[in-house]
Structure 1
């Protein structure tokens, strides 16, 4: 397994990490035994970078990771997040970055995970009502208290990153980035490189769309988040399917799957990007890890850039309410 450094932290992580969200929520039913087996397989394959958040499954995902980490804590670089507030029944209660909430959320995450220190602690969404300096100031306090090692931001703007970094070094920024979500190329990737910040790409397979396995909303579970995602329905879906068909054809020329080519594009294009594809199945985990061995030429990268030029992708990556909370 190739490794990459997380910014200037000195943390060495596998070139591909594992997003754990789907093991608890958003993509239909899950099975804890299957998820735990996949987590074990990940470490056996050299994947040491695990990503969770307190809101995934309303705490279930962190508790699941806590079960897994018992006895294997030293093998894992663990990232979790706070900021998306949910009630006990899963109701959405908004976003909070107040200092008091930051401290309480961290203590709750540590308890669910059953650990003493979080390796990388992200603000999941920027709180528009709380200055980022106050939020990061409280996060800095967690570092000083030994509860957190390094800090991150998720779905922030370049301006917010710079303000946060002035309060305390930011180790990583996590934003959706894939062939069909190219927004980070408009300044964020360059800013991260300038500041020595790692860029963690979530949903690098377009929430499975780039794998070619999702061709209709009818193939998704009734409670699957993607049913409400504009890119997965109507005319937008049909336009986007034309892109994945061409991606599959290009992948075949490399003896790879569509998923592997999509991940290889990220890995070959930017050396400070760490994709964290999510899966709860060992076979997909193995497929994703194999992408680290694929080498692309400049011409191949350019061809994929052109195929998935932003104007060719139809639909936003979140419904309207979700889009209002990114890039703040």
Structure 2
């Protein structure tokens, strides 16, 4: 497993990391899976206070408490659960972030969060106030670094200009190549790594039935998938190509894979370790999956 620096910090995270949102099985099963991932070289585990109404953070805290100093924990803030349980509201206010972090720390059974992310963001947010909150938390030692989870180029640009974010989590895959046009060069020049989510496009790029995706119609997705399967008929090789496509861009630091079962963990690690034998594989994928641009939030 290779590791990259989170921004300009000394935090090193694995190129393949563990997205924990899908963990909803028995606690013993899920905790064992998390520990098995660590034993396999994965050291970054990504959760959020919103996932399972905080229960996901509790699970990750329990699973990692015995090896806390050896792992990197990332969680997110900004979606405030309503007291009546009917949903959540967006809240990027400084006062909320400064109070929400303590609840995440309690659930995670730790006294610091390695990487604290704003879970969204708009241009209408009190952005300077939000940044002040993260900077204060760094000063207090409650977090080591902070970043944002966003697909909005206009929001990302503002945070690059105004803050000291150490990373940006964003959707990126063969079916969603928009970040290449609007964000990747900017982030690469700023030394801010991208943490990719949705690298398998909801499983469509593997073995799920084609469906409409973003502005691609079902027919367009079917045609692209036929082209991909002609290039790589075997599912295990296809999984490797899809994963390495995301990792190949120099702006990308890690692919956060949603892992739910031991088989998925094994398949992800196998895909990462597998060598790509064909010289022009990246160019072939470029031709099979055309890039699109962001229409909104520019």
Could you state the TM-score of these two structures normalised by the residue count of structure 2?
A: 0.89
SS at match of 1:10: coil
Question: What is the alpha-carbon distance in structure 2 between the residues aligned to residue 177 and residue 273 of structure 1?
Answer: 12
| Residues 6 and 172, structure 1, Cα contact 8 Å, conserved in 2 | yes
Q: Counterpart of 1:97?
A: 92
Stretches of structure 2 that go unaligned for 5 or more consecutive residues are none
In the TM superposition, residue 281 of structure 1 has moved relative to its aligned partner by: 0.8
Output the CA distance in 2 between the equivalents of 1:131 and 1:156: 18
1:82 to 77, 83, 104: 77
Offset of residue 33 of structure 1 = 2.9
Counterparts of 2:28 and 2:230, CA distance in 1: 35
User: How far, CA to CA, are the matches of 2:213 and 2:202 in structure 1?
Assistant: 10
State whether residues 34 and 280 of structure 1, in contact with CA within 8 Å, keep that contact through their aligned partners in structure 2: no
Deviation at 1:90, TM superposition (A): 4.8
CA contact 1:269–1:301 (8 Å) conserved in 2: no
Q: Is residue 199–residue 255 contact of structure 2 (8 Å, CA) maintained in 1? A: yes
Decide whether the 8 Å contact of 1:267 with 1:292 is kept in 2.
no
Match of 1:198 in 2: 193
Contact 2:77 2:119 in 1 (8 A): yes
Corresponding residue for residue 140 of structure 2: 145
1:18 correspondence with 2:18:
yes
> Which residue is 1:249 aligned to?
230
TM-score for both structures, normalised by structure 1: 0.82
Alpha carbons of structure 1 residues 131 and 41: separation in structure 2 relative to 1, 3 Å? same
Q: Does 1:55 align with 2:67?
A: no
**C-alpha contact 1:110 1:118 (8 A) present in aligned 2:** yes
CA RMSD of aligned residues (A): 2.7
Q: Give the SS at the match of 1:171.
A: coil
Corresponding position of 1:305: 286
Matches within 5 A, 1:155-194: 155=150, 157-194=152-189
Task: Out of 244-253 and 135-144, give the one that drifted further.
Answer: 244-253
- What residue in structure 1 maps to residue 4 of structure 2? 4
